[in-house]
Copies of this chain bind each other. A is one copy, B any other.
């Protein structure tokens, strides 16, 4: 549903002594992906937080197929798999820009909580936007 693409060029600081990107760093680009997904919907994580709702990660899974290396440009493709009463699931594919090869694939599940960490309902603006996308997958807001 509504794939959003973001680009990033690998720094030396993202790599490790094996000469490839350290595995934990892909999770930062998953975050970049979901931030950009929200932005592309006219939503903003920053605004959601100002309204008192946070979406900490409750689960992450990641499958590493081909390593990215210094100076590679990667493309993160982000989608929403589902939105529930109080949670959301994003899926990600990270591709190498030069040849489109899929490097990494994964997902994150998030709970919605208030400022005190108590579970709250999925914000209405997200639900409405998802419904729009389901009715008209090409709509861009």
Contact = CB atoms under 8 A, between A and B. Distances in A.
Interface of A: 9, 11-13, 15-20, 22-25, 27-28, 31-32, 35, 44-46, 54, 56-64, 67, 69-71, 117
A19 B17 contact: yes
A46 B25 CA distance: 20
Nearest to A117: B67
Q: What is the copy number of this chain in the assembly?
A: 4
A contact patch SS? mixed
A44 B19 CA distance: 17
Given A27-B23, A70-B46, A59 B61 contact: yes
A71 B54 contact: no
A30 to B, nearest CB: 9
Contact of A28 (B13, B20, B57): B13
Nearest to A28: B13
Contacts of A58: 63-64
B45 A31 contact: no
Contact of A20 (B11, B46, B56, B61): B56
